[in-house]
Each structure stands twice: as C-alpha cells, then as structure tokens.
C-alpha cells in the first residue's frame, strides 16, 4: 500500500504546485487539508486555483466532487464539499479524509495531503480518535456569547497553565 505524503505550510508558499508535481511524478491524487477550501463559494482569498469537475463520489454516505487541479490531470478531493453555513469540523474532515486516503491507496496510488490547516493534518497523521465527540449546541451557544477574557478564564480553570504555555510557544 502506498504511503501518505503530506505537503503542508503557510499560505501562498507553493504547496499545491509542489503537491501536483509530486502527484504527476509518483502517480498520486491530492486531498485538500485547508479548512477554507472545503467550503463552496469561498474562492476569493482561499487560492483554490482552477478546479474542473471530473466526477462525483460517495464518501461516508455523502456525495462529494472530485476535481482536476490546475489542468494538470491530477485529481483533487475534498474541495467545495459543504456550504458556508453547514456545521463542519475536524471530526467530519478526518472521517472523510481517512476514507479518501484508503480509496486512493486501494488504486495503488499515493494519497497526497496538501494544505495549511495544521489541525486537519494532525488529525489524519496522528490518527486522532474523534469518534466519541458529540456536538453540544447549547455549549457552543454559551461559548460564542463569551468574551475572550471569559474564555481564557474558563480554559485556566479547566487546564491550569495551558493558556500560559500556548502564549509562550
């Protein structure tokens, strides 16, 4: 089975161009790991580039598009998969990415994870267990109405020292 290749880095650093070249030379397909590029209609500022629909696939019971990237002949997965007002988090992303990676490997091709959202990349390569996480609408509403200071105080009470360590790294 072909190993996962990861191309990560900051915005506008040439990740997609490098990943496309890797895919062309190594027989691979790209998997988007950018938390903005998963959303339909958020094209300006997200640098999705030139996407041409190849086909639709069913992944985890969801129909998602597969695009040719930059007229390169390289398929790209997990671009434009949800509406901006849709609830989508790292648990959803990891579940989809894991299935797409396995599908690419089953074709004896290299899956190439490319993007700048470190949490998405970490969730995949470190195999985060997100299966038991549930969405709590009331907690989200409470947190959204909290000030930054209130959120920091809450974090301090839950995990003493964590806020300070985050601000020193």
| Per-residue pLDDT at 42 | 77
**pTM for this prediction:** 0.82
Quote the pLDDT of residue 128.
Answer: 94
Residue of 32, 33, 36 lying closest to 46 (CA atoms): 36
Q: 48: pLDDT confidence band, cut at 50, 70 and 90?
A: confident
- CA 141 – CA 105 distance, rounded (Å): 40
- As a whole number of angstroms, the distance between CA 11 and CA 29 comes to 21
Helix (H) or strand (E) holding 23, with range, is helix 15-26
- How confident is residue 169, by pLDDT bands cut at 50, 70 and 90? low
Whether 44 shows a pLDDT value over 80: the answer reads no
Q: Is 74 left (phi over 0), alpha (psi -120 to 50) or beta?
A: beta
What are the tens digits of pLDDT across the range 138-167? 888 899 999 999 999 999 999 988 888 877
Over 80: is that where the pLDDT of 122 sits? yes
Does the pLDDT of residue 35 top 90, yes or no?
Answer: yes
Residue 133 has pLDDT above 70, yes or no: no
CA distances (Å), origin 77, targets 52, 100, 102, 118, 147:
12, 8, 12, 18, 37
* C-beta neighbour count of 105 within 10 angstroms: 16
Q: With pLDDT > 70 as the criterion, what percentage of the chain qualifies?
A: 97
Q: Name the one residue in this structure whose structure tokens are 């947190």.
A: 143
How far apart CA 99 and CA 66 sit, in angstroms, is 14
pLDDT exceeding 90 applies to what percent of the chain? 76
Residue with tokens 């990560």: 8
> What value does the mean pLDDT take over residues 129-134?
80
Instruction: Share the mean pLDDT of the chain.
Output: 92
């Amino acid at each position: 089975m072909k190993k996962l290749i990861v191309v990560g880095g900051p915005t506008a650093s040439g990740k997609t161009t490098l990943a496309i070249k890797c895919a062309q030379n190594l027989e691979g397909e790209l998997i988007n790991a950018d938390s903005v590029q998963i959303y339909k209609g958020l094209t300006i500022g997200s640098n999705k580039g030139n996407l041409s629909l190849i086909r639709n696939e069913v992944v985890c019971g969801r129909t998602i598009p597969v695009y040719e990237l930059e007229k390169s002949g390289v398929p790209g997965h997990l671009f434009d998969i949800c509406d901006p007002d849709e609830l989508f988090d790292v648990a959803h992303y990891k579940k989809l990415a894991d299935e797409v990676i396995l599908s690419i490997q089953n074709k004896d091709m290299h899956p190439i994870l490319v993007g700048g959202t470190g949490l998405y990349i970490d969730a995949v390569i470190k195999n985060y267990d997100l299966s038991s996480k549930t969405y709590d609408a009331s907690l989200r509403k409470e947190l959204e109405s909290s000030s930054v200071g209130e959120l920091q105080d809450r974090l301090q009470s839950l995990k003493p020292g964590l806020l300070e360590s985050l601000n020193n790294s």
